[in-house]
């Protein structure tokens, strides 16, 4: 299987695009419309790989191994351009620069692919500029506008593009996409999805940010809650009430859930924190205490979900928690 093989959810869309490519009936511009995280960009990359592959399979699929495919996989192919919001919007100067670059370059092999992320964020001037480009499209160049909401795109631009709609990916496919995009393992991706509340974008941010470091720090503190003095509990509450307060509560819930699952089922195939299996097996929190702790954490989760003050919620949780053991 090629590294550019799209996920199952997009097979139909992809087959149509591939047919157009192999038949030489490509449009000059496409609009890929779909939800955040639906995999629009991986299809755009598969497209770019297919039109540039030096050694495609008999059905036109990119080989995934030639110099061109490898460059696309590593995001350093000279034929592929990305344009994305510079701050809050995509600005005129970005298209001016693109136009200059395109005019300076001679495409020797394949086809240039310009991928515009969050195209709905083009300013009016930028939109006019791309419209001019699309009215006289440069040779061997394909534009792919990636959008969530097509109604935010001017009809004059829409009329120049072929529209491709993407369905929201299934959960299994979402895992695959995240593994492909972030390089993390299945168990890590599942953990991030659970902690991020199933939102793909949040999961991606967590994986690209410091999820595992955050979890490590939280679990280190968990080990010592029973021996902390009030001052230390207050310091921890302060630390936990920042930007990631919600995620910290999820880390705690999933952790205690895993401890319970391990005790009750004695099998690791339902464990979410798979990489911490040893610590899970060694935990000696008495059953009764564990129930009490879980109730306290769930109470804090509820408080945060109704926008209670984060610091007060964390203080309250930690004070109650520390008393469970006494
Ligand atoms: Zn190739």
* CA 301/CA 296 separation, integer angstroms: 9
Question: pLDDT digits over 129-175, tens only?
Answer: 999 999 988 889 999 999 998 999 999 999 999 999 998 888 888 88
- How many Cα atoms within 13 Å fall on the side-chain side of residue 158? 12
Q: Which residue has the tokens 């974008």?
A: 201
The chain-wide mean pLDDT, for the chain, equals 89
Instruction: Give residue 183 CA to ligand 1 midpoint distance, Å.
Output: 21
Instruction: Give residue 71 CA to ligand 1 midpoint distance, Å.
Output: 9
- How buried is residue 85: exposed, middle or buried, by Cβ count under 10 Å (0-12/13-18/19+)? middle
* CA 62/CA 44 separation, integer angstroms: 13
Instruction: Give residue 108 CA to ligand 1 midpoint distance, Å.
Output: 16
* CA 8/CA 39 separation, integer angstroms: 11
Question: pLDDT digits over 190-200, tens only?
Answer: 888 888 776 77
Please identify, in words, the CATH class of the domain defined by 8-169: alpha beta
Annotated domain spans of the chain: 8-169, 170-209, 212-324
Q: Is the pLDDT of residue 34 over 70?
A: yes
Banded model confidence at residue 2, pLDDT cuts 50, 70, 90 = low
* CA 65/CA 31 separation, integer angstroms: 28
Both structure tokens of 294 = 């879980």
Residues, CB-to-ion distance under 5 Å, ligand 1 = 53, 62-63, 66, 69
* CATH code for residues 212-324: 1.20.272
Which among 209, 175, 171, 174 is positioned nearest to 189, based on CA atoms? Answer: 175
Instruction: Give residue 70 CA to ligand 1 midpoint distance, Å.
Output: 7
């Amino acid at each position: 299987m090629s590294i550019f093989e799209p996920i199952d959810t997009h097979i139909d869309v992809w087959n149509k695009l591939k047919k157009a490519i192999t038949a030489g009936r490509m449009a000059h511009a496409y609009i890929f419309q779909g939800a955040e995280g639906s995999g629009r960009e991986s299809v755009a990359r598969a497209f770019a790989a297919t039109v540039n592959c030096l050694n495609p399979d008999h059905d036109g699929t990119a080989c995934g191994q030639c110099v061109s495919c490898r460059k696309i996989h590593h995001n350093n192919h000279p034929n592929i351009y990305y344009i994305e919001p510079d701050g809050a919007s995509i600005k005129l100067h970005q298209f001016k620069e693109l136009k200059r670059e395109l005019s300076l370059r001679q495409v020797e092999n394949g086809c240039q692919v310009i991928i515009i992320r969050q195209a709905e964020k083009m300013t009016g001037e930028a939109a006019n500029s791309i419209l001019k480009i699309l009215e006289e499209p440069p040779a061997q160049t394909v534009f792919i506008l990636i959008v969530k909401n097509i109604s935010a795109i001017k009809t004059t631009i829409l009329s120049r593009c072929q529209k491709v709609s993407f369905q929201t990916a299934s959960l299994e496919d979402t895992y695959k996409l995240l593994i492909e995009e972030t390089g993390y393992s299945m168990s890590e991706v599942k953990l991030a999805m659970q902690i991020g509340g199933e939102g793909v974008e949040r999961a991606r941010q967590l994986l690209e940010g410091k999820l595992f470091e955050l979890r490590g720090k939280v679990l280190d503190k968990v080990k010592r809650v029973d021996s902390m003095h009030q001052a230390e509990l207050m310091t921890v509450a302060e630390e936990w009430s920042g930007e990631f307060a919600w995620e910290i509560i999820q880390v705690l819930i999933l952790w205690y859930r895993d401890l319970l699952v391990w005790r009750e089922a004695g099998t690791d195939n339902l464990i979410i924190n798979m990489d911490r299996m040893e610590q899970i097996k060694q935990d000696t929190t008495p059953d009764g205490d564990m129930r009490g702790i879980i109730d306290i954490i769930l109470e804090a989760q509820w408080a945060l979900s109704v926008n209670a003050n984060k610091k007060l919620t964390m203080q309250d949780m930690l004070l109650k928690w520390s008393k469970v053991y006494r």
